[in-house]
Amino acid sequence: MRVRQLTAAAVALLLAAGLGGCSDDPEPARGPEPAPAPAAPTVGTGDVRPVDRDDVQDGGVLRWALDGVPATLNVYQRGANADSALLAHALYPSLFRPDERGRLVPDPDYLVGAESTPPGQQPQVVTYRLNPHAVWSDGTPLSAADLAAQQAALSGRDPAYQSTRAVGYDAVEAITQGTDPHEVKVTFRRPCGEWRALFGPLYPAAETGGATAFNRALTGTGHLSAGPYSLTRYDTDGGRVTLERNPLWWGDVAKTDRIDFLATPPEGRLDALDQDRLDVAALTAAVDRAVPPAPTASASAAAVPPAAPPSSTAGASALAAPSAAPPSPTAGASAAAAPPAAAPEAAALTLRRAESLRGITLHRAAAASLTQLTLNADRGPLTDPEVRRAVGRAVDRRRIAEAALGPLGLPGVPLGSHLLAGDQEGYRDDSGAAGPADAAQLLDRAGWKRPAGGTRTKDGKELALTLLVPAGSVTTQRTADALTADLAETGIAVKPRTVPAESFVQAHLAVGDFDLALFSWPAGPSPAAEQRAAYAKPRPDAEGALASGGNYGRSGTEEIDRLFDRAAAELDPAARLDLLQEADVRIWQLGHSVPLYQRPDLVAVRTGLAGVGAWGFGWPRFQDLGWRL
């Protein structure tokens, strides 16, 4: 279970911090509940066309676009990125994997079953039954030692481990072998409702047992793994990672002989697809960041050379990264100069080209990532909750979703939850909790009067706000334009302020240098633990200054904190969702932020390739990928 992180990559493309995951805080006070709003239509986060394994041929090669060869395959290390996670899912176990509704279900290749003690029984003990056939690449069975070593590395108790924050592991008291080598008992020091998100991926004790081993970059060949494929080539300079069938794999035999992952920048992927050098490539960045060609550049000069030689197997294929993995904001940019600005016309042309490529299907989906408008409660007029709620009511979320997603061929479905994606289990539109639909009444009540249709004023000051947006994204630009128009209709003047993606977080969000800000959060299967920090009440630091942590909106309450803590500790899934929905209601009432839509995900797949597309919450079942008969 990893804490959700806001990265420059996420904000750059609107594609794409937890303090506690499992706790036992007391019951919060309950306020009046608003009438529930009608649920918005849902949009599937996945667009994958499954094919029965019997209809997939044995053999062949797939060619799959990466942004680059990753610095590590250990997703818990600070240098990990989306490509790290994609490769890790082919090479390492995850005891549970998310289904199409974001629910974590056991992966039978690794886990026969798992059971937690019932709610109320202390201490909580989870008993895992590991698949007795599951072995690492040296033939050693998966065991309690692997889980124990990973928990020690990620618990946060030893600063020598240079890991990212991973919630839930700090709640573990002990990990021991059960009645036989394949049974593992995990005892928790406090209840952990989202325990299914632990140990996914799971690394061998040889890679995590001790800070020295853990801190080494997990790159190159010769490391233990336990997936349907084994790593046979890791060529950073040549931009190629190769996986081949694992001879010790105990599950369904992998359909494809080999998968070549090729470093291909977004702006070169259409050419690579057209020239039969790739079979699958994520194209969201290519479309979203498309720039007009230089006036003097010829078509041949503008073409991007291949990052790696073509596969020697004719008609072979490769796949796109999962939709939850944002491309790098600097991919393809010149080191000598900043890249030119993206343009709507260039994006439209790029999309049309992607749609017209012969032998290629463009998969479209709403990704498991929530685009939202954050309001800075620590600055100017937005310190007044009434004004924040008025901004939320003034935003026409459907119009904005249609403006952002319609040009990409996706339905403009707005979000009504801060915590869950539209087709995630437990989703409910709680936007009605923001108050009366008439934003003008809220602003009038707060003292902001509108003179003859102009900008509202109070005490001689105009209601004028800055809107912080990351540079280089056409989707961002469309969203910002629609937001500016919406708020102007209510008498709120908005001035968009575009800043480089690389400085968006640290130089602006983290220090509160904005009124309104546009960016996205990933939607994971463990919202109670993963999202708490984004809404946790800011606390004074040692000098008395407000320390916002991961809460860039800088508004929060003790009640919201308690609701998150109770949800993280709740072992009953239905009760946990009830608590999350109650927290979402309180966040709407606080005027912290405004959910807008799920970010777009575009993936190009060569005709005849099965089990490939835009995965949404999940990731590929690698052993099933291959060419149709």
Q: What is the pLDDT of residues 436-492, one digit of tens each?
A: 779 999 999 999 999 998 999 999 999 999 999 999 999 999 999 999 999 999 999
SS (H, E, C) 487-498: HHHCCCEEEEEE
For residue range 601-622, list pLDDT tens digits in order: 999 999 999 999 998 888 899 9
Q: Residue 24 — pLDDT band, cuts 50, 70, 90? A: very low
For residue range 187-203, list pLDDT tens digits in order: 999 999 999 999 999 99
Q: Rounded distance, CA 48 to CA 615, Å?
A: 7
Q: How do 464-470 and 546-547 pair as beta strands?
A: unpaired
CB 109 within 8 A of CB 135: no
Q: Residue 542 — pLDDT band, cuts 50, 70, 90? A: confident
The token duo for 256 is 């494809």
Q: Residue 2 — pLDDT band, cuts 50, 70, 90? A: low
Whether the bond between 123 and the residue before it is cis, its omega within 30 degrees of 0, is: yes
Averaged over 137-155, what is the pLDDT?
97
CB 616 within 8 A of CB 286: no
Nearest to 391 by CA among 496, 516, 503, 495: 516
Q: Residue 288 — pLDDT band, cuts 50, 70, 90? A: very high
Least confident window among 174-178, 277-281, 294-298, 400-404: 294-298
Q: Identify the DSSP state of 116.
A: E
Nearest to 191 by CA among 123, 96, 118, 104: 123
Q: Identify the DSSP state of 235.
A: E
CB contact burial 307-339 (16+ within 10 A = b; e otherwise): bbebbeeeebbbbbbbbbbbbbbbbbbeeeeeb
**Side-chain-side CA neighbours of residue 42 (13 Å):** 17
* pLDDT for position 544: 76
For residue range 242-270, list pLDDT tens digits in order: 999 999 999 999 999 999 999 999 999 99
Please, what is the average pLDDT of the chain?
A: 86
Greater pLDDT, 10 or 60: 60
The token duo for 449 is 């009067």
Helix/strand/coil for 427? coil
CB contact burial 168-195 (16+ within 10 A = b; e otherwise): bbbbbeebeeeeeebbbbbebebbbbbb
For residue range 373-382, list pLDDT tens digits in order: 999 999 999 9
Altogether, the residues listed in the chain come to a count of 629
- What is the reported pTM? 0.86
**Side-chain-side CA neighbours of residue 338 (13 Å):** 9
User: Radius of gyration (Cα) for the chain, nearest Å?
Assistant: 24
Q: Identify the DSSP state of 423.
A: T
Helices assigned H by DSSP within 220-335 = 269-274, 284-288, 299-302
Q: Rounded distance, CA 323 to CA 416, Å?
A: 21
Going from the N-terminus, what domains does the chain have, and what CATH number goes with each?
93-215 (3.90.76.10), 229-359+607-627 (no CATH), 369-600 (3.10.105.10)
* pLDDT for position 31: 34
The token duo for 625 is 């990928």
Task: Assess whether pLDDT exceeds 90 at residue 538.
Answer: yes
CB 85 within 8 A of CB 325: yes
Greater pLDDT, 337 or 551: 551
List residues bridging with 280 in a β-sheet.
64, 605
* pLDDT for position 291: 83
- Find the helix or strand (DSSP H, E) in which 562 lies: helix 558-569
Q: Rounded distance, CA 311 to CA 589, Å?
A: 55
Nearest to 196 by CA among 568, 627, 467: 568
Whether the bond between 573 and the residue before it is cis, its omega within 30 degrees of 0, is: no
Q: Identify the DSSP state of 85.
A: H
- Highest average pLDDT, of 44-58, 156-170, 337-351, 373-387, comes from 373-387
Whether the bond between 201 and the residue before it is cis, its omega within 30 degrees of 0, is: yes
Q: Rounded distance, CA 248 to CA 437, Å?
A: 61
Q: Is 356 exposed, middle or buried (0-12, 13-18, 19+ CB in 10 A)?
A: exposed
Greater pLDDT, 104 or 549: 104
* pLDDT for position 46: 79
Helix/strand/coil for 464? strand
Share of the chain above pLDDT 70, in %: 85
Averaged over 43-70, what is the pLDDT?
88
Q: Rounded distance, CA 493 to CA 403, Å?
A: 20
Q: How many other CB atoms are there within 10 angstroms of residue 357's CB atom?
A: 14
